[in-house]
Structure 1
Amino acid sequence: MSAAAPTTADSTTSERVQHGAGAHTDGGWGLVPVQTRSERFTSTDPNAFPDVTGREVDWKLSPVTRLRPLIDGTLDGSPYAYLARETGGAVVDWVDPSDPRVGTAGTPEDKASANAWSSVEKVLAVTLTGDEPSTVTIGRSGLDSEPRSGHTLIHATANTTSLVVLRNTGSAQLVENVEIVVDEGAHLTVVTLQEWDDDAIHLASHFATIGRDAQLKHFVVSLGGSVVRVNPSAHLAGQGSDTELYGVYFADAGQHLEQQVYVNHDAPNSRSRVNYKGALQGEGARTVWIGDVLIGRSAPGTDSYEQNRNLVLSEGTRADSIPNLEIETGDIQGAGHASATGRFDDEHLFYLQSRGISEDEARRLVVLGFLSEVVQKIGEPGLQDRLIAALEVELTSAPTTGGVR
Structure 2
Amino acid sequence: MSLLTTNYLTPTGREEAWRFTPLKRLAGLHDGSTKVADYISLSAKATLPNGVVLSVAEASEHPASYTSTDVVTNRIREVVAKVSLLTIAKDIELTEPIHLSRKCSSSPEFSRVVIQAGVNSKSMVIIENTGNGELGEEIEINLAPGASLDLISLQEWDRTAVHLAQHHAIVSKDAQFTSYVVSVGGSVVRISPTVEFTGAGSFADLYGVYFATDGQHLEHRIHVNHNVPNAKSRVNYKGALAGDQAHTVWIGDVYIHKGADGTDTYELNRNLLLSDGARADSVPNLEIETGEIVGAGHASTTGRFDDEQLFYLQSRGIPADIARRLVIRGFFAEIINKLKSAELEERLMQRIDDELAKVGE
Q: d(CA) in 2 for partners of 1:185 and 1:254?
A: 43
Q: Residues 64-99 of structure 1, C-alpha deviation per residue, up to 9 Å, x if partnerless?
A: 112251012244252323330222221111011122
Q: Residues 89-123 of structure 1, C-alpha deviation per residue, up to 9 Å, x if partnerless?
A: 211110111224x311x333122221111111200
Of 48, 56, 60 in structure 2, the residue corresponding to residue 94 of structure 1 is: 56
1:381 counterpart residue number: 342
Of 25, 50, 55 in structure 2, the residue corresponding to residue 66 of structure 1 is: 25
**Aligned pair count?**
353
Judge conservation of contact 1:281–1:317 (CA < 8 Å) in 2. Answer: yes
1:140 counterpart residue number: 102
Judge conservation of contact 2:120–2:147 (CA < 8 Å) in 1. Answer: yes
Of 105, 116, 123 in structure 1, the residue corresponding to residue 76 of structure 2 is: 116
Tell me the amino acid that sits aligned with residue 72 of structure 2: A
Instruction: Give TM-score scaled by structure 2 length.
Output: 0.93
Match of 1:197, SS state, is coil
List alignment gaps of at least 5 residues for structure 2: none
Judge conservation of contact 1:77–1:121 (CA < 8 Å) in 2. Answer: no
Pair 1:317-2:311 in alignment: no
1:20-31 superposed matches below 5 A: none
Judge conservation of contact 1:117–1:176 (CA < 8 Å) in 2. Answer: no
Distance 1:96 1:77, change over 3 A: farther
Match of 1:127, SS state, is strand
1:358 counterpart residue number: 319
2:248 counterpart residue number: 287
Of 36, 39, 48 in structure 2, the residue corresponding to residue 79 of structure 1 is: 39
CA apart distance, 1:290? 0.3
Q: d(CA) in 1 for partners of 2:301 and 2:277?
A: 18
Q: Residues 256-301 of structure 1, C-alpha deviation per residue, up to 9 Å, x if partnerless?
A: 0000100011111111110000110111111000000011112111
Judge conservation of contact 2:217–2:246 (CA < 8 Å) in 1. Answer: yes
Of 251, 258, 262 in structure 1, the residue corresponding to residue 219 of structure 2 is: 258
Match of 1:377, SS state, is helix
1:156 counterpart residue number: 117
Q: d(CA) in 2 for partners of 1:359 and 1:229?
A: 33
1:205 counterpart residue number: 166
Judge conservation of contact 1:241–1:269 (CA < 8 Å) in 2. Answer: yes
Q: d(CA) in 1 for partners of 2:148 and 2:53?
A: 17
Q: Residues 112-169 of structure 1, C-alpha deviation per residue, up to 9 Å, x if partnerless?
A: 221111111200011111423152111111x322332110111111100111111111
CA apart distance, 1:362? 1.6
Tell me the amino acid that sits aligned with residue 60 of structure 1: R
Tell me the amino acid that sits aligned with residue 79 of structure 1: Y
Judge conservation of contact 1:221–1:247 (CA < 8 Å) in 2. Answer: yes
Stretch deviating more after TM superposition (147-156 or 77-86): 77-86
Q: Residues 190-232 of structure 1, C-alpha deviation per residue, up to 9 Å, x if partnerless?
A: 0111111111111001111100010100011001110011111
Q: d(CA) in 2 for partners of 1:192 and 1:49?
A: 31
1:299 counterpart residue number: 260
Judge conservation of contact 2:37–2:107 (CA < 8 Å) in 1. Answer: no
Q: d(CA) in 1 for partners of 2:9 and 2:50?
A: 45
Q: d(CA) in 2 for partners of 1:49 and 1:369?
A: 46
Pair 1:125-2:58 in alignment: no
Instruction: Give TM-score scaled by structure 1 length.
Output: 0.83
Match of 2:29, SS state, is helix
Pair 1:330-2:291 in alignment: yes
Tell me the amino acid that sits aligned with residue 398 of structure 1: V
Q: d(CA) in 1 for partners of 2:192 and 2:41?
A: 24
1:179-258 superposed matches below 5 A: 179-258=140-219
Q: d(CA) in 1 for partners of 2:309 and 2:10?
A: 48
